[in-house]
Amino acid sequence: MSFFKRFISIYLLLITSVIFADQFEEFDSSNLLKDLAIVEEINQRQNDELPLIYNYLMQGGYFTMPSARMAKAGNLGIGYAYLPPYQIIGVAFQFFDRIEAGGNYTIFNGIKEYNFGHWGFGDDADRIANIKIAVLKKEDGFPYLPEIALGWNDFIGSKRFSSFYVAATKEFLDLDFEITAGWGMGRIHGFFLGGAWSPFRKGTSFFKGFSLVLEYDANNYRKRSDEHPKGRDVNSRLNAGVRWNLFDFIQLSASTIRGKDFAAGAQLTYNLGDTEGFFPKVHDPLPYTFPVDREPLGMIRSENEFSQELIYAFRDQGFDLSSIILQPGKKRRDSLYLKVVNVRYREEDAVRLKIQEILSSLLPENIINTTVVIEADGIKSQAYQFRTEDLNRYQLGALSEFEFRVISPLREVPHAPSSYDSQTLYRRRKNLWVYTFRPIFRTYFGSTTGKIKADVGFSTGPEGYLFDQIYYSLMASYTIVSSSEGIGSVDIYNPSQKLNVRSDSILYHQTSSFHLNEGYLQKSWNLGKGCFYRMALGYFETAYAGIAGEFLYFPVHANWAIGLELASLLKRNYQGLGFQRNIRTFKGFERKYVPYYGLQYFLDFYYQYRPLMLDFKMSLGQFLAWDKGIRIEGGRTFPSGLRVGLWIAYTNGNDKIHRSRYFDKGFSFSLPLDIFMTKSSRTRIGYAMAAWLRDVGARASTGKELYDTLYFERFNSYSTFR
């Protein structure tokens, strides 16, 4: 019977082979290569585009006119243009693929500033903000339609050069040519045109980024009173010239302007949001692979030997293993509890992957599950729990990374095992001190004695943990070079009528080159179930010291959080360690000093929109100058770790500048330091600037904030979209 079954099986196989033989012959290697070539050609066509040209205002455009095109999200551009009779310093940043934001600092050559040009400020200047929003883009799936964008130039402030415009741009890739038609109102008045031809773009020569550019300039130079007197004559509306993109991040340009003069500009552009760094991470450890040791704990593999293996493996991979606790179980089915400090990696995915690789290679067979607690800034932030059988399947390739994340997700920190039913195999105290060094760069805009002033120096000192529990920071700063000596601490036309809690900040840096910036203690607790608490005491910043407390509810998998914070503060003297009992204020132009203590308190709401990596914070409460209101912050964190944010505060302070009510507003950015390094690092550098240095909506630093620590410890970039 078995012979008959075998015969029937062979017979059916032969019949099937004969029937489908002709079809099998068609699947040869040459056809496969042809299919792959077709796919590659389609990809190239979809990604093909002409060189993006920035105009003199740092907008996607030509020379003075805009286009509908814009860069990819995360792209930063900085430029300078000589556009007679103006000089223009410009910056552009692409918040999203569809939103281009920029700013210009425009100098009127030869025209003294009316109010204080004779004091040293020099030529008149204007600060300008621009924004452009894409309505229709090429990737929207309408290849025969042009790209369309709306834009607003100089939409806040004095609005000397304000415009609204609509632009439509069409690329003709086969002809290496693009053309833009648009219409504007304001300074851009009526119909405008622009076009660029890039004849060498498909080659590999030095000139592949070379473009010939022509535009019809619709700026209303003649009839706008805010124009420079020497910039109102127009002999021709056609501006012609060249643009040259070098090495994909340098642009040079030259053109005629108004048929009378020649203009020139240079720009640097780089996608900071999507970069993996200027240098490869050659000093990062390779994934752990060897040795592999799953020998059970016992006579052959002692607990001490196992502990040493884990310690060295974690250290080599960039972690500090601070404790190993063994919890015995029935029939030698034990559990392990590890506490790990992440000192290197800034993405949760990378931390998890490294830990999985170590544990899947070194866990003894008699360990059935392992809990790994991650600590950051002295607080237990999150945990993983791995079953040994899942780690073994992962190590053999039978379990994918995605599947492993599903069955062993990030979780809240559990309680540590009781000392009565567990055994501590290893415990390491945190560093008593670590020496840190950071550069300092402060800028001041709009002083009566000059347009831009700056301080350059450094901040340095130890930070660490006392008694393995209390974090401390002791940082001093020194200013090496400064051009801010002549800056006044009072707005001579609009002195702040509020308590001068921030508008006197320049005095701290003018009175002494040396300051104790920070000298505080902080203790943080994970209360369980997503609840966290901290207390801090000491000198929090150059201007303020005091005592602060913060409570935060932020579960591991939540995209929202809520918090309370309260701080009692004293204003420091301009030098030394003492405090000011009375601080400056004004009534009209009369200077007064009034008793002061700082009390700030806020109810904070946080929200993350993870598909776009957006985060928002809303704080309601009392600010430093005793004004009450709301501060709204929004930011985007890019895959590179770059975070760019904006804020605005609405309070009852009723501050007036030139008879208009002012609300504190500004922008900030925070950048991972490892973008400039050959190894991963969690250290970040930041910068923030307000539109105007005033006292409404001001708040003091109070130590390491809980939300920031937890947000960046749980942050992922590309994994968000998996």
What's the pLDDT tens digit per position in 251-286? 999 999 999 999 999 999 999 999 989 899 999 999
693 within 8 A of 505, measured Cβ to Cβ: yes
Distance between first and last Cα of the chain: 53
434-721 fold: Porin (2.40.160)
Residue 573 DSSP one-character state: P
Instruction: For domain 303-427, say whether CATH 3.30.300 is its number.
Output: yes
Residue 557 DSSP one-character state: T
Q: Where are the domains of the chain?
A: 10-45, 51-271, 303-427, 434-721
16 has a pLDDT exceeding 70: no
| Same fold flag, 51-271 and 434-721 | yes
Q: Which two tokens stand for residue 335?
A: 């559990």
Q: What is the pLDDT of residue 657?
A: 87
**Looking at residues 99-128, what average pLDDT do you find?**
90
Superfamily of domain 51-271 in CATH is monomeric porin ompg (2.40.160.40)
Q: What is the pLDDT of residue 42?
A: 63
29 has a pLDDT exceeding 80: no
| DSSP alpha helix (H) spans, 271-323 | 303-316
Best CA proximity match to 379, nearest among 465, 473, 271: 465
Phi/psi for 526 (5° steps) reads -100, 110
For 198, 283, 475, 692, 712, the CA distances from 681, given in Å and listed in that order, are: 41, 11, 20, 34, 12
Q: For the range 106-115, what are the long-range contacts, defined as Cβ-Cβ under 8 Å and sequence gap of 24 or more?
A: 106/161, 107/451, 108/228, 109/84, 109/85, 109/228, 110/85, 110/230, 111/228, 111/229, 115/493
pLDDT digits 0-9 by tens, 141-169 = 898 999 999 999 999 878 999 999 999 99
- The number of angstroms, rounded, from the C-alpha of 180 to the middle of its chain's C-alpha atoms is 33
Q: What is the pLDDT of residue 36?
A: 67
255 within 8 A of 242, measured Cβ to Cβ: yes
Q: What pTM value is reported for the model?
A: 0.89
Sequential DSSP letters for 34-76: HHHHHHHHHHHHHH--PPP-B-TTSSBBSSSSB-S----TTEE
Percent of the chain at pLDDT above 70? 93
Query: Which residues lie closer than 8 Å to 225 by C-beta, 6 or more apart?
Result: none
Q: What is the pLDDT of residue 10?
A: 52
How far is residue 677's CA from residue 148's CA, in Å, rounded to a whole number? 40
